[in-house]
Structure formats: structure tokens, C-alpha cells
Amino acid sequence: MSRSALLLLALAWLLPGCSADPAPPATIQEWRQELERYVWEQGNGDPAVLADVSWDDVHPGFAVLADPLPNRSTDVYGLLLAHPQLEGHAYFVFLVAKVRNGVFEQMLPVALEIDEGSFRWVEGAGDEDQTRRYLQWRSLGPKAMGVQFPSRDDSFDVNVDGNTISITHEPSGARWQIEVPRNVTDPPC
């Protein structure tokens, strides 16, 4: 092996952040696990810690970023939109976006109930038509560097009707829903 090849190999070994191998992609399951770990480590199990968490000091929510270079990373952003009560239970409502190599791959609504240290996740459908509608609206606006979810012009409305949570992206009309199963073990009030 030549001296230059040995030097390049040594540099690649010493500078792992500069390696050619991208980080493993983040998954929605990993996002859920990391959020749970955050609640335990930062809030000692108290979900109120989620009220102050943000990935950019502007947008409330929680993100898992796999690689610092967006064009070779799969990241998951969970935008915290609301904290409603359903049938006497408090939920955290997120719109979760999975972004691969700077391109939106999936968007889905997620509700989380944390009760006495137990995490109960409810995922809505990742409706491709609604995601496409949202992305078409985004394509009409000014192009920003990077993904920037949500964009500065995004606004979302959360509506609760019985055990159904609806998230509407107001500018595009894109809409996602979560059906929270009724809790049959709770006695009627």
C-alpha cells in the first residue's frame, strides 16, 4: 500500500465524521423510543418536560437526526401540536414527518398518552394523498435551504370530536386523523 493510501486510511479512521458511510436511518419506532428516553432522563418520567422541548428553539416537538448531512440522512421530526383531553386522558398530539435525503417520505399523526410511567402510542394513517397535498403547497413557496419542517408559513389546527383527533394544515387543507381507542377499563363518570 502506498504512503498516500495509508495516510488517507489513517485520516478516515481518525475523522469518523468525515467517513463515506452515512449514519443508519432514523425510524419512527426509534423516534418513539428516544422521546420516551427523553421523558425519563430529562423529566424523571414527568411528561410535562415535553412542553419545553424543541429541535430548533422555535418549533415545539422532538426530532431524531441520523446524520448531519441532510442529503445522506433519514431524520424524523415530531411537531407537537396540541395537548387535548379525551375521555379524561391527556394526550400529546404530534404530526410526524420522516425525511430521507432531504425529501419527505412519510407524514402521519401520532397521539401519546403517558400515565404513571406507561407510554401508550396511537398512530393514525400516513395518508399519501394528504402528504402529497401538503408537499404541493410547499412547492409553491420560496425554496429554503434544508428541509425546515415545519416551514415558517405552516399553520395547523387540531380538532377533537369524541375519540377522533383531526390535524388540518390550514394553508393546503391537508388533513390527517387519529382514532384513539375508547378505554373500556375506565368506569363511566
d(CA 95, CA 176): 9
| Nearest Cα residue to 91 out of 65, 112, 61 | 112
DSSP letter at 10? H
What pLDDT does 14 receive?
33
What pLDDT does 9 receive?
25
What residues have CB less than 8 Å from 144, skipping those under 6 apart? Answer: 151
How large a percentage of the chain has pLDDT more than 90? 47
What's the pLDDT band for 32 if we cut at 50, 70, 90?
very high
| Nearest Cα residue to 150 out of 28, 84, 61 | 61
What's the pLDDT band for 10 if we cut at 50, 70, 90?
very low
- Through-space distance between the first and last CA atoms of the chain, rounded to whole angstroms: 77
Torsion of CA 165, 106, 131, 60, to 10 degrees: 60
Global pTM reads 0.81
What pLDDT does 104 receive?
87
Domain boundaries defined on the chain = 22-179
DSSP letter at 25? P
pLDDT in tens, 116-126: 889 999 999 98
Q: Reduce the secondary structure of 71-117 to three states and give it as a string.
A: HHCEEEEEEEEECCEECCEECEEEEEEEEECCEEEEEEEEEEEEECC
Mean pLDDT confidence for 52-57: 82
Q: 172 and 136 in contact (C-beta within 8 Å)?
A: yes
Residue 81: is its pLDDT beyond 80? Answer: yes
d(CA 163, CA 165): 7
Q: 55 and 61 in contact (C-beta within 8 Å)?
A: yes
